[in-house]
């Protein structure tokens, strides 16, 4: 042994399908069938193969399995919002909940889930997946077309707002939920109602603007829209709201989209001498610990990410299996949680 080799731990040779076959006393093709399930073999033989594989430390190569069977047993998840994972972990609670729910639904169905940050990058193009869920796509999202051009079955978890009638879509019924949020404000005709949506062009922000305008028109309220970008830090959001209050005067009610900005919004109101809910009724369009833990707790819309995840996974598996497209997008109902911030 050379001096260079001393003290170096050598990697044991990789166990192959032939090694498993020899240990189990079967052919390599029988081992392959035991893992793929493409041909019937007896339960006794399958158990012998798996026992030999476990004893040898063998695990099937997912890429090789995909080539043999045409199926990887995995689906992909592409989370589109650019600011889904920025800032502190707790600021991403909404997207953590969605991704975690997707993973749980896949586990229940015995399939794997792989997060694909950007399928357009060459190093992610070869990720083995039988289909892909695109969560919260942008308007006219090119990612839908890119994956479709590669022959990958796609389901949207939330509609592409420029293509709302795509049938392979599961989405939250934003219109119903957001109308309930505005109803909970309890403001009188002529009252000024602020909406502070995000800046991303997706179904959620578009629905917020549409529902706010329609609701105010129907109630005789005065609508004002002031964007709070998803990119803003807490300090920036606080300064933005403070400047608006100083320039525009206080509204009777304020609805902001991003729950993580609940603290900065309330701090700006307090600094202006305004109490919630005595002076300003306050609500947010996403529920999270920020809304629940605020003082007072803030009325918020629970977007039912568990229901969205289950619907999207079921829809994708149906598409992969060759099912017919549904008559229209699958709708999941959100839940309004009324709290002290809108109570008289």
Tell me: the pLDDT tens digits for 330-340?
999 999 999 99
Our measurement of the distance from residue 141's CA atom to the centroid of its chain's CA atoms, rounded to an integer in Å, reads 16
- Under the banding of pLDDT at 50, 70 and 90, the label for residue 11 is very low
Q: 172: helix, coil or strand?
A: strand
CB atoms within 10 A of CB 299: 25
Nearest to 224 by CA among 200, 254, 198, 203: 254
Angle formed by the axes of helices 234-248 and 262-271, nearest 10°: 40
- Are 169 and 161 a contacting pair, CB within 8 Å? no
Residue 289 CB contacts under 8 Å (≥ 6 apart), including other chains = 90, 93
Q: What is the pLDDT of residue 5?
A: 42
Q: What is the mean pLDDT of residues 21-31?
A: 87
CB 77 within 8 A of CB 115: yes
Three-state DSSP state, 20: helix
User: pLDDT digit string (tens) for 311-322?
Assistant: 999 999 999 888
Q: How far is CA 322 from CA 67, 119, 138, 161, 201, in A?
A: 20, 23, 26, 26, 32
pLDDT at 9 over 60: no
All structural domains of the chain, each given as residue ranges with its CATH number in brackets, are 17-60 (1.10.260.40), 74-173+305-333 (3.40.50.2300), 174-303+337-342 (3.40.50.2300)
**Token digits of residue 339:** 């709290």
Place of tokens 């991403």: 92
User: Is pTM beyond 0.75 here?
Assistant: yes
Radius of gyration of the chain from Cα atoms?
A: 26
Tens-place pLDDT, residues 272-298: 999 999 999 999 999 999 999 999 999
- Lowest-confidence pick of 122-126, 158-162, 227-231, 307-311: 122-126
| pLDDT beyond 80 at 88 | no
Angle 343-334-227 from CA coordinates, rounded to 5°? 70
């Amino acid at each position: 042994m050379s001096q260079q080799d001393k003290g170096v731990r050598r990697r044991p040779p990789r166990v192959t399908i032939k090694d498993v076959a020899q240990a189990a006393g079967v052919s390599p093709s029988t081992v392959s069938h035991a893992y793929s399930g493409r041909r019937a073999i007896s339960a006794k033989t399958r158990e012998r193969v798996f026992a030999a594989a476990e004893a040898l430390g063998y695990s099937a190569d997912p890429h090789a399995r995909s080539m043999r069977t045409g199926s990887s047993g995995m689906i992909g998840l592409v989370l589109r919002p650019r600011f889904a994972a920025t800032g502190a972990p707790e600021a991403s609670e909404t997207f953590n909940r969605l991704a975690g729910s997707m993973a749980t639904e896949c586990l229940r169905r015995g399939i794997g889930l792989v997060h694909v940050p950007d399928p357009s990058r060459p190093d992610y193009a070869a990720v083995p997946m039988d289909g892909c869920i695109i969560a919260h796509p942008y308007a006219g999202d090119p990612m839908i077309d890119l994956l479709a051009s590669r022959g990958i079955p796609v389901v949207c978890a939330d509609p592409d707002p420029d293509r709302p009638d795509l049938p392979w879509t599961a989405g939250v019924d934003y219109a119903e939920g957001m109308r309930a949020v505005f109803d909970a404000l309890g403001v009188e005709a002529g009252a000024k109602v602020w909406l502070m949506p995000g800046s991303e062009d997706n179904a959620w922000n578009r629905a917020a603007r549409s529902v706010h305008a329609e609701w105010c028109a129907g109630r005789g309220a005065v609508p004002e829209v002031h964007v709070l970008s998803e990119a803003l830090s807490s300090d920036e959001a606080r300064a933005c709201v403070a400047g608006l209050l100083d320039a525009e005067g206080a509204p009777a009610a304020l609805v902001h989209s991003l729950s993580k900005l609940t603290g900065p919004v309330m701090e700006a109101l307090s600094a202006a001498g305004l109490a919630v809910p005595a002076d300003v009724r306050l609500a947010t369009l996403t529920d999270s610990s920020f809304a629940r833990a605020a003082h007072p707790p803030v009325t918020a819309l629970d977007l039912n990410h568990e229901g969205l995840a289950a619907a999207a996974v079921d829809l994708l598996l149906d598409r992969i299996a060759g099912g017919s497209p549904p008559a229209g997008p699958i709708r999941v109902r959100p839940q309004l949680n009324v709290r002290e911030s809108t109570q008289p």
